[in-house]
Amino acid sequence: MNSAVGGIAFLADFAIGGSIAISYGFTSAFWGIIIAALVIFLTGIPIAYYSAKYSVDMDLLTRGAGFGYLGSTITSLVYASFTFIYMSTEGAIMAQAFEMYFHMPLPIGYLVSSLVVIPLVLFGMTALSKLQVWTQPVWLLLMIAPIAAIIMKDPGTVSAWTHFAGKSPSGAAFNPLFVALSSGVVLSLISQIGEQADYLRFMPTLTKQNRRKWLWAVMIAGPGWVVIGAFKELSGSFMVSFIAPSVGFDVADQPIQMFVKAFGTFIPSAFVVLTIATFFVVLSQIKINVTNAYSGSLSWSNFFSRVLHFHPGRVVWLFLQVAIAIVLMEAGLFNFLNTVLGFYSNIAVAWIGAIVADLVINKTLLKISPSYIEFKRAHLYNFNPVGFGSMIIASILSIMAYFGLFGATLQAFSPFLSLVVAFILAPVIALATKGKYYIARQNPFQGALTELAASSNEVTEERVEESNSTGEQSPTHDHSHLHGLVGPYAELIPAPNNNGEYECVTCEFDYEQEDITYCPFHKGMICSLCCSLEKECGDMCKK
């Protein structure tokens, strides 16, 4: 649980808050951060809940929330982009610290800060997550102490902050277009819920007894990350207003500059200050980038195993991820942060908007989407127009708006346009297609559960009818009713082993019923991974 709050360490928030304060002035940056944080928090609630309740990561959740089996491969790419954009942002922050402390040129610093994560991802994940838990109080202290020290030493810094104009043409004043543009940059972090879901999926089962505690834990580990995130963004804008007069706008949004000045207010020795600040920056950045590299490599693996049935092992994808991050850094991503993040937001928001609309409207209110999360190839259509279609249309419209095709107002508000379009289209397409593309072949395990819950009456009535017409119960149903299984191939599913698990015919490992299903091509039970790698079956199980 503690490790889920790992997000507190990353410093990109400081850079983002600082960078938008410089571009748009205090008031617009402030409201931009608050509004984006609200959107991220609210959309995070249903995603965190479903991810924890059904033990699924973001990719599996996306499949079952209106995107279909292959429809979610495109969101794997959107998520992979999030991890490499942020990996290079965080890596650049580390390289800036190397430059200041070791006088290491930035291009070399970029290489070092990226390559260092490879051995850590391969060998050091467990040690690192333990370290993360133990050092959390230290991070909080190192983050809050300098800001508190600055304000206590000179309370006038607060009013300097609220009057900070940066380079903004409207000064420190409120400008709705600048609020929207600031929000657009911060909203790129909406995909962070994917990293939170990687922790949430290991939550214990929700029961009547643990309900309150469970919900709190899910809120804190899920959307809760953005509370600290927004605090860090506001701190970044404060730090920029504090240091810009002495270091200039060009480097004021670099976290190492912020922390060197900030620690300098209460530690006299310049060398000690630089050492502490560098240590702080490097350790935070290594932690977050190990996560970014790991999550990114998983997304690549998800994408290629499904699209090309190609599964060379995660190390290959780890190298790909690191290579992309290096290229972005060397291309100077940090200098175009607002532009890159603002553009990315259009697509990320479309994705999250379509999922949330499916979870909240289609599943809960309209009940047109299955109440559970189905993620297996054998039971899903490749593409479900509900989420997939809404996301594509919302992305295209908001990117057109982003490039100014619909005028200046919608240009600034493009991620909000994306959110509204995705949110409206998902239920509209679900109703138009009558929910036909959610399930291609009934999942016998799930079918048994839902039927049991939905209507025990109907089953009895059916059975009475059957016995009336034939004089006895239909013998062909006996085997499936024995296990309570219904749907295609249900009668071919063998009894589970003593652990309640089934052996996969292909890889011969044992799996719980959530991860295995019957395959008519292999004539036996097959696990989700072997099923997704199968090239020859032609999806015969769904025909």
Q: Which residues contact Zn ion (rule: CB under 5 A)?
A: 378, 504, 506-507, 527, 530, 537, 541
Closest CA to 348 of 83, 109, 152: 83
- CB atoms inside a 10 Å sphere around CB 341: 25
Closer to Zn ion by CB, 54 or 521: give it: 521
Closer to Zn ion by CB, 99 or 503: give it: 503
The distance of closest approach from Cβ of residue 528 to Zn ion in the complex, given in angstroms and rounded to an integer, is 8
Phi and psi at residue 503, to the nearest 5°? -90, 135
The distance of closest approach from Cβ of residue 527 to Zn ion in the complex, given in angstroms and rounded to an integer, is 3
Closer to Zn ion by CB, 136 or 506: give it: 506
The distance of closest approach from Cβ of residue 65 to Zn ion in the complex, given in angstroms and rounded to an integer, is 22
Burial 89-106 (b: 16+ CB within 10 A, else e): bbbbbbbbbbbbbeebeb
- CB atoms inside a 10 Å sphere around CB 134: 9
Closest CA to 289 of 331, 325, 239, 248: 325
The distance of closest approach from Cβ of residue 311 to Zn ion in the complex, given in angstroms and rounded to an integer, is 12
Helical axes 225-247 vs 12-24, angle rounded to 10°: 60
Closer to Zn ion by CB, 225 or 502: give it: 502
Task: Tell me the C-alpha distance between 253 and 267, whole Å.
Answer: 22
Closer to Zn ion by CB, 8 or 504: give it: 504
Torsion over CA: 203, 206, 209, 214 (sign): positive
CB of 305 closer than 8 Å to CB of 311: yes
Task: Tell me the C-alpha distance between 493 and 466, whole Å.
Answer: 24
CB of 373 closer than 8 Å to CB of 197: no
The helix/strand/coil state of 438 is: coil
Closer to Zn ion by CB, 160 or 537: give it: 537
- CB atoms inside a 10 Å sphere around CB 212: 8
Closer to Zn ion by CB, 70 or 420: give it: 70
The distance of closest approach from Cβ of residue 538 to Zn ion in the complex, given in angstroms and rounded to an integer, is 9
State the Cα torsion 483-484-488-489 to the nearest 10°.
0
The distance of closest approach from Cβ of residue 190 to Zn ion in the complex, given in angstroms and rounded to an integer, is 34
The helix/strand/coil state of 526 is: strand
The distance of closest approach from Cβ of residue 530 to Zn ion in the complex, given in angstroms and rounded to an integer, is 3
The distance of closest approach from Cβ of residue 330 to Zn ion in the complex, given in angstroms and rounded to an integer, is 41
Task: Tell me the C-alpha distance between 144 and 113, whole Å.
Answer: 25
Task: Tell me the C-alpha distance between 326 and 87, whole Å.
Answer: 9
CB of 325 closer than 8 Å to CB of 91: yes
Give the residues across from 516 on adjacent strands: 527
Question: Which residue do the tokens 């509370």 mark?
Answer: 227
The distance of closest approach from Cβ of residue 516 to Zn ion in the complex, given in angstroms and rounded to an integer, is 8
Spatial neighbors of 85 by CB under 8 A, at least 6 apart, are: 188, 328, 333, 340, 341, 344
The distance of closest approach from Cβ of residue 507 to Zn ion in the complex, given in angstroms and rounded to an integer, is 3
The distance of closest approach from Cβ of residue 541 to Zn ion in the complex, given in angstroms and rounded to an integer, is 3
Task: Tell me the C-alpha distance between 50 and 56, whole Å.
Answer: 8
Closer to Zn ion by CB, 138 or 507: give it: 507
Closer to Zn ion by CB, 349 or 541: give it: 541
Closer to Zn ion by CB, 433 or 506: give it: 506
The distance of closest approach from Cβ of residue 535 to Zn ion in the complex, given in angstroms and rounded to an integer, is 11
Closer to Zn ion by CB, 448 or 530: give it: 530
Structure tokens at 209: 């007894």
Torsion over CA: 203, 205, 207, 210 (sign): negative
Give the number of residues written for the chain.
543
Closest CA to 331 of 118, 106, 113, 116: 106
Closer to Zn ion by CB, 245 or 538: give it: 538
Closer to Zn ion by CB, 312 or 404: give it: 312
The distance of closest approach from Cβ of residue 378 to Zn ion in the complex, given in angstroms and rounded to an integer, is 5
CB of 173 closer than 8 Å to CB of 23: no
